């Protein structure tokens, strides 16, 4: 091996050794100073100070329309519904290629894809 390449190799080895030593020392000192903040990685219980947030109620949004002239279906929220089905108190009265008609009492609404069922 040529002398200049041997010197470059020695420089790289010295650099890598210094870097590895630095990381090993800094990790060891961090572990020695803050063991109370560490948790067992094999325990899956929540931390004592963590508070679980209530699960949000899914929006009743028209996600898509599965068009078939004989039996059209609509995906509203996480439900697949057909004509006559009820979602959040609204009855599906008609499914078209461009939207879904819903009814509650005397009130009629047309849901376009991406829009949500009225909450009032």
- Please give the DSSP secondary-structure letter assigned to residue 74: E
Radius of gyration of the chain (CA): 31
The string over 32-53, giving b where at least 16 C-beta atoms fall within 10 Å of a residue's C-beta and e elsewhere, is eeeeeeeeeeeeeeeeeeeeee
Tell me how far apart the alpha carbons of residues 32 and 103 are, in angstroms, rounded to a whole number.
66
pTM assigned to the model: 0.52
Kindly report, residue by residue over 65-99, the tens digit of the pLDDT. 999 889 999 999 889 999 999 998 999 999 999 99
Kindly report, residue by residue over 1-33, the tens digit of the pLDDT. 677 777 777 777 777 677 766 666 666 666 565
* Domain locations in the chain as residue ranges: 62-111
């Amino acid at each position: 091996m040529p002398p200049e390449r041997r010197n470059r190799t020695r420089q790289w080895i010295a650099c890598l050794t210094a870097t590895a030593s630095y990381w090993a020392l800094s990790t060891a000192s961090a572990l020695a100073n803050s063991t109370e903040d560490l948790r067992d990685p094999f325990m899956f219980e929540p931390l004592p100070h963590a508070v679980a947030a209530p699960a949000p109620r899914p929006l009743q949004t028209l996600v898509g329309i599965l068009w078939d002239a004989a039996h059209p279906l609509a995906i509203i929220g996480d439900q697949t519904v057909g004509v006559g089905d009820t979602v959040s108190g609204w009855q599906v009265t008609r499914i078209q290629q461009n939207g879904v008609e819903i009814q509650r009492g005397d009130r009629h609404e047309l849901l376009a894809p991406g829009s949500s069922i009225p909450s009032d």
